[in-house]
């Protein structure tokens, strides 16, 4: 009797084990896949973090925390960016391509002014000069960061505009080829941006990401055009939005814009080439002609002086 009960129990156990074997295998496979996905996401996140520069990972967060702490301690809880000058400065920061916010830029500028002023005070105390030269040195040291940061920002904006103007025709040709190959405009821009992160594709991909986050397409592209402040980019965005509104194929718009940009670039090169002789004339008259006159007229002048003396 005991043997029968033991055999029956063993048979039931083996039967349940056989029934639950497939469930256990599927559960183990699911757990393995889940752990692999977690490790992949963790690795991708760590890789993305490591791809960032040292300033983005360390310096900028530190500056932001210090700036927030200074503003809280000063009792200034009103956000920066209300006056016209701050709005203009914020527009310049966006047009320069830098990732600094207005608050970070203001904090860096204030710290530079403080550092240069301290250097000026040290020079005032230890330089063996009179009072007026010392005050003049302090004034110069205090104005260097004020005008230097403005000049740096203005030159950065100008350089980025020139970069956008130079890269726009090639980018347009690449987009024409991608769209003719069967890709949509947004997909073509994002795919080209993954391969080549130039200024034009950076702006276009940023506008597309804004539309993906819920911003209206017209608003995102208009803000991009205003941020770039380049006439050719504004014309391209206007034509693109009109084509989107009227239902014109994007391929036709890109072909027309690419042809127009090539013609305008050719005209700009011809205009620069036409200005070259005029620009060469000034150094020629100032530096080359005097040397030629000295070589040609020098011996005659020497002989004339000896004859008259």
pLDDT in tens, the chain (309 residues): 555 556 656 666 566 656 666 666 666 677 776 666 565 545 444 455 555 666 666 666 776 676 666 555 544 444 444 577 777 888 888 888 777 778 878 888 888 888 888 888 888 888 887 888 888 888 888 888 888 888 888 898 888 888 888 888 888 888 888 888 888 888 888 888 888 888 888 888 888 888 888 888 888 888 888 888 888 888 888 888 888 888 778 888 888 888 888 888 888 888 888 888 888 888 888 888 888 888 888 888 888 888 887
Write down how long the chain is: 309
Q: Where are the domains of the chain?
A: 65-73+84-155, 162-272
At 14 the pLDDT is: 63
Give the tens place of pLDDT for each residue, 150-190.
Answer: 888 889 888 888 888 888 888 888 888 888 888 888 888 88
At 197 the pLDDT is: 82
CB contact at 8 A, 185 and 179: yes
Say how far apart CA 207 and CA 192 lie, in whole Å.
14
At 164 the pLDDT is: 87
CB contact at 8 A, 57 and 50: no
**Concatenated DSSP letters of 160-171:** HHHHHHHHHHHH
Phi, then psi, of 157 in degrees rounded to 5: -65, -45
Q: Is the pTM of this model over 0.75?
A: no
Q: Which residue has the tokens 């190959």?
A: 181
């Amino acid at each position: 009797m005991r043997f029968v009960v033991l055999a029956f129990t063993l048979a039931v156990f083996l039967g349940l084990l056989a029934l639950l074997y497939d469930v256990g295998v599927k559960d183990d496979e699911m757990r393995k896949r889940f752990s692999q996905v977690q490790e992949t996401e963790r690795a991708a996140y760590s890789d993305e973090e490591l791809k960032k520069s040292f300033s983005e990972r360390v310096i900028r967060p530190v500056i932001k925390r210090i700036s927030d702490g200074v503003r809280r301690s000063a009792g200034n809880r009103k956000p920066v960016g209300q006056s016209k000058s701050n709005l203009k400065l914020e527009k310049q920061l966006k047009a320069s391509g830098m990732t600094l916010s207005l608050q970070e830029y203001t904090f860096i500028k204030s710290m530079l002014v403080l550092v240069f002023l301290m250097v000026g005070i040290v020079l005032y105390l230890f330089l063996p000069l009179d009072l007026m030269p010392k005050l003049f040195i302090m004034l110069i040291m205090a104005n260097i960061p004020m005008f230097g940061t403005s000049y740096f920002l203005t030159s950065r904006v100008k350089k980025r505009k020139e970069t956008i103007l130079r890269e726009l025709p090639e980018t347009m040709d690449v987009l024409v080829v991608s769209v003719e190959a069967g890709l949509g405009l947004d997909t073509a821009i994002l795919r080209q941006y993954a391969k080549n992160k130039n200024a034009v594709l950076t702006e276009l991909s940023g506008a597309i990401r804004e539309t993906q986050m819920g911003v209206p397409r017209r608003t995102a592209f208009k803000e991009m055009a205003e941020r770039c402040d380049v006439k050719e980019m504004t014309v391209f965005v206007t034509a693109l939005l009109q084509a989107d509104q009227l239902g014109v194929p994007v391929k036709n718009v890109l072909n027309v814009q690419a042809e127009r940009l090539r013609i305008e670039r050719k005209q700009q090169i011809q205009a620069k080439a036409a200005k070259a002789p005029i620009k060469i004339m000034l150094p020629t008259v100032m530096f080359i002609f005097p040397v030629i006159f000295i070589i040609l007229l020098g011996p005659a002048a020497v002989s004339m002086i000896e004859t008259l003396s």
